[in-house]
Amino acid sequence: MAVDTAPTLSEIEEARGRLEGIARVTPVYGSETLSKLAGRDVCLKAENLQRTGSFKVRGAVSKIATLSKSERRAGVVAASAGNHGQAVAWAAREAGIKATIFMPQDAPMAKVEPTKNYGAKAELRGASFEEALAAALAYVESTGATFVHPYEDERVIAGQGTIGLEIVDQVPDVETVVIPVGGGGLASGISLALRAVKPGVRIVGVQAGLEGWTLADGIAVKSVGELTGRILEDNLDDLVSVSDEEICSAVVLLLERSKLVVEGAGAVGVAALLAGKAGGGQGRALALLSGGNIDPTMLISVMRHGLTLAGRFLVLRTRLHDRPGELIKLLKSVAQERANVVSVEHHREGMDVPVTESEVELTVAMRDEHHCSVLLESLRSLGYQVERLR
């Protein structure tokens, strides 16, 4: 049951004791690449390497460990976009109690299947988190099970706050901490811990720019909670938003340069730093990578889109005389610029082109944006009318 008071430092420390030997003390990595791009020293707290793939296991274990015998018999219920559900399922299994998890109907399978594999019953209800939450609360009302709220709960917030204690232990000279914000439980817990043990640190929350669907599905809630909202109002120095394009670029960089798989919600802190939105001058900054449970098919799409944004893929269209040898002539011209053709689409029928011509669309792997410009200019100098599509 949610409460109306924020956890104290002593309660966060008690949660840390409950988590000892259960949740991992996740590593902090430096990144030369991200530091150069952001113009400041950047390090990464890798909660994507936490058990169940996200920070959520901390709050779930912290809550479930304090249940009474009668509450344990009745079981637990959660509503989740994915990560919280996995965490509650795992924590319930470890505690030997039953769990039922309500998720939106379009929750990624990378989050639904593990929830089932941890032994929980997964119920897919509604198109949004809010609809799944309503269904979960109705189930609690009818069964008497204990609802484990993803963020509006003092013990859950205290569990997430243990990350703040770890950050101070691992990076004592940190000056700016950048945290994803969805419902606000993560940022609330960390900010409470940081304000208690390192009051001068700059704390920045990062939201996804919610204009319809977002890549950061893990933080795609309409607003922060009532309790967490009050905590964040008192403790955050700034609350900023990032676009899906910025998140996509961050996911690609983390995978390619840091070798870390991070979901959209987990990459928003890095996105904010790279976009210069975190503020705080040139001091050392830490971005929290809150989770790594990205659906594999989504990861493929993100990587292709991100590489295209970075000039690593080029899609172009041109026309050729419809006679033997013209296509190979074009491809040789592309090869001379050391570009690698990924796919070729050759259109004759159904196109608004002269009968003596055909249209060709090429997808080409490139080195960078400058390489794209060189290839396009080279083809135009050879007389090709080239249109860049992406």
The SS3 call for residue 218 is helix
CB 74 within 8 A of CB 146: yes
Half-sphere exposure of 170 (CA within 13 A, CB side): 20
Reading the block at residue 40, the tokens are: 């400041």
DSSP string, 264-303: TGGGHHHHHHHTT-S-STTS-EEEEE-B----HHHHHHHH
Respond yes or no: is residue 381 known to be catalytic. Answer: no
Catalytic residue among 31, 188, 290, 358: 290
Nearest to 77 by CA among 66, 63, 326: 63
Whose tokens are 């987990």? That residue is 266
Respond yes or no: is residue 63 known to be catalytic. Answer: no
Nearest to 51 by CA among 19, 18, 96, 15: 19
Catalytic residue among 31, 45, 54, 56: 56
State the Cα–Cα distance between residues 178 and 202, nearest whole angstrom: 8
Cβ burial of 131 (10 Å; 0-12, 13-18, 19+) is middle
Whose tokens are 């690698």? That residue is 340
- C-alpha dist (Å) from residue 373 to 276, 315, 363: 27, 12, 15
State the Cα–Cα distance between residues 304 and 75, nearest whole angstrom: 43
Cβ burial of 226 (10 Å; 0-12, 13-18, 19+) is exposed
Residues annotated as catalytic (active site), given as ranges: 56, 290
